[in-house]
Amino acid sequence: MFTVDTYTPTRVIFGAGRLEELASVELPGTKALICVTADGLMEKIGVQQRVLDLLAKNNVEAAIFSDITPNPNRETVMAAAALAEREGCDFFIGLGGGSSIDVAKATAIIAKNGGDLWDYAEVGSGGRKPVQVAAPIITIATTCGTGTETDQYCVITKEETAEKIDFTMDALFPTLSIIDPELMVSLPKNQTMFQGFDAFFHNAECYITNNNQNRLLDLFTIDGFTTVYQWLPKALENGSNLEARTNMAYGANILGGYAMAHCFVTTHHIIGQAMGGVFPKVPHGATLILIAKEFYRLWAPKFPEFFDAMGKLLGVEPDPAQPGTGFSRAVEQLMEVTGASDLKMSDFGIDPAEFQRIADNTVDVIGIDWDRYVMSKEEIVQLLEKSYR
């Protein structure tokens, strides 16, 4: 028998050209803190000013926080919270990709609860204080990867302990998410690749952990990973292909977010997350790509029928001589056609001397004891060693 569990309270405005509706849609406050990355990209391509102009038409003021880097850290969140307090901001806008949105979400916790962000971290060195409320959050996506636009997660790093952890609470569901694929056509190719694989694995991993229990989740995840599998190569081939960008945004920002709102990813993602904590300059999607081949080769014989069925959904027929390899072969085909298979850990400065630390953080800090197959630290180190080039 199957079950159905669902809770997706975020209002979604999706479609090409729909950013303009920011000027007329009901907003949850009178002054926003807009979180953007330190590279100045949102300002350079004119999106930041467009958002300011549209908010002004809606009688909303705004302040800009622009000190956000990839894999944002606790110090950045606390700086954003201080600015929001000085400026009297009563809601938060994450403009850009996952880093900007995650900072907006984390800052919304501090705005309503005070203290230090790590007071509310539920694992590792966190204070484990409960959070029942956060300030309202709006997301305006210019990338398609994380799914944070429609889920209740944000991921922040405490650099002094290399803890990169999830803050997970219903209060972090955005009030409103505007997903306009027209904003994504200028996304650089490498970011399209990293975020595309992140979206693919979000959906595929939630399908794996769900194990056909929540029937509604199967609908989200299958549509999600098959859509990304089909359209990611096309988005990489031509970044201006609006049809490809629209399908990628649908598969990533809506279906990927819905998937994670209802289920967990696998240990694959947790290892990647721990790697990003130890090496914070490595893009999250890249960490997933770097270990994907060996991870799914290892897992293939654990659930052979399940993984062969996943492979068939992606057009790869089972091989009786290699039971369970259907999905891993599909992953490797996608990596080949996109050029992701050329990526090497050494290119990102990942030091094998830190593999044990990554394994320790995976198991002891973030935790994987809920997964369908619980890997040991030794297996994780071996996986990283096999993946290293």
Q: CA–CA separation, 273 vs 284, rounded Å?
A: 7
How does pLDDT run across 142-161, given as a tens digit for each residue? 998 889 999 999 999 999 99
Q: Are strands 31-37 and 11-14 parallel, antiparallel or unpaired?
A: unpaired
Please check whether residue 145 is in contact with residue 201, taking contact to mean a CB–CB distance below 8 angstroms.
no
| 0.85 surpassed by pTM | yes
Q: Are strands 137-141 and 91-96 parallel, antiparallel or unpaired?
A: parallel
- In which residue ranges of the chain is pLDDT below 70? none
- Beta strands per DSSP E along the chain: 11-14, 31-37, 61-68, 91-96, 137-141, 153-158, 163-168, 176-179
DSSP alpha helix (H) spans, 142-214: 189-210
Quick check: helix, strand or coil at residue 318? coil
Q: What is the DSSP string of 111-134?
A: HHH-S-GGGG--STT---------
Quick check: helix, strand or coil at residue 311? helix
pLDDT of 145 reads: 86
pLDDT of 326 reads: 98
Strand order in the sheet with 11-14: 11-14, 176-179, 137-141, 91-96, 31-37, 61-68
Please check whether residue 267 is in contact with residue 371, taking contact to mean a CB–CB distance below 8 angstroms.
yes
φ, ψ dihedrals at 311, nearest 5°: -60, -40
* Residues forming a β-bridge with 94: 35, 139
Residue keyed to tokens 């198991």: 363
**How many CB atoms sit inside 10 A of residue 49's CB?**
11
Q: CA–CA separation, 45 vs 130, rounded Å?
A: 39
Type of residue found at 35: C
* Residues forming a β-bridge with 31: 61
pLDDT of 186 reads: 86
To the nearest 10°, the Cα dihedral for 368, 371, 376, 382?
-100
* Residues forming a β-bridge with 14: 179
Q: CA–CA separation, 321 vs 323, rounded Å?
A: 6
Q: CA–CA separation, 370 vs 106, rounded Å?
A: 25
* Residues forming a β-bridge with 35: 65, 94
pLDDT of 370 reads: 92
